[in-house]
Every structure is written in structure tokens, then in C-alpha cells.
Structure 1
Amino acid sequence: MQVSMLSVAIGAAALFGVAEVASWRRNNRRDVDKVGFMPWRGIALASAGVALLATAFWLGGR
């Protein structure tokens, strides 16, 4: 179980990085009318929460 919590934390942290890069790209786009449909800020927030929670479970079980 502990290895799976660590892998969930690593995956969520990677998703957080991708979402932050995508959010930065959205904020610095050239064509203002192309906004897209993905809520990158919300995805980043949720993945950061999952990463912190999974890390806490992983550290609590050691």
C-alpha cells in the first residue's frame, strides 16, 4: 500500500506540473479569443491536494 501511495503522490505532482505549464501558456497566449475549455487552475489545485494527501498517508504508514 505504501508504494502505491508514493506512486499516486508522484503522479499527482507530475500532473500539477503539467497543469501549471498549461495554465501559464493559457495566460500568455497570443490569440485572446482561443481560450480553450480545460480548467487548468482547478486541475492544478486538485492534483496538489491529492499529492499532499498521498504523501501524508505514505509518511504516516512508514
Structure 2
Amino acid sequence: MDDSTKIMAIFGSLSAVLAVVAWLGDRRRHHRKDIDRVGFMPWTPIFFWSLLAAVLLLGLSARKVLGG
């Protein structure tokens, strides 16, 4: 495994962690008790883009590791 594959795997893993955090934040916002207390973080776009980055980066690094 060369350096670029390791970097893609590391950033893909970090993007996956960010996607989980954004998913939990979005879920928390949808289940809040006080409907008037909206937050300022755009959790849905953060979740979407970080999940997209995680899938692409982890997929490319897995492809290189598996010899594709």
C-alpha cells in the first residue's frame, strides 16, 4: 500500500466519522422538543457531502488495496 492509498483511506475514514456526527446532529434536530429552537448548522448537506467523500475515498482505496 503506497502513501496515496493510505491518505485516501485516512481521509475517507475521517469523512465517515463526520457523516455519522452529522447524521446524529440531524436526527437530534428532527426530534427536538422545543420546535422554535432551530440550530445554525446545516446538518443535512454536511451529512450528504461527507458521506459522498467517504464512499468515494474508501472505495478508491479499497480498489487499490485489492489490486483493481
* TM-score normalised over the length of structure 1: 0.91
For the aligned residues, what is the CA RMSD? 0.9
What secondary structure, in the 3-state scheme, does the structure 2 residue paired with 1:61 have?
Answer: helix
Larger Rg: 2
Gaps of 5+ in 2: none
% identical aligned pairs: 32
Give matches, 1:27-46, under 5 Å. 27-46=30-49
* TM-score normalised over the length of structure 2: 0.84
Query: In 1, distance between residues paired with 2:35 and 2:62?
Result: 44
Once the two structures are TM-superposed, the CA of residue 56 in structure 1 deviates from its matched residue by 2.1
Gaps of 5+ in 1: none
Runs of 4+ in structure 1 off by over 4 angstroms are none
**How many residues align structurally?**
62
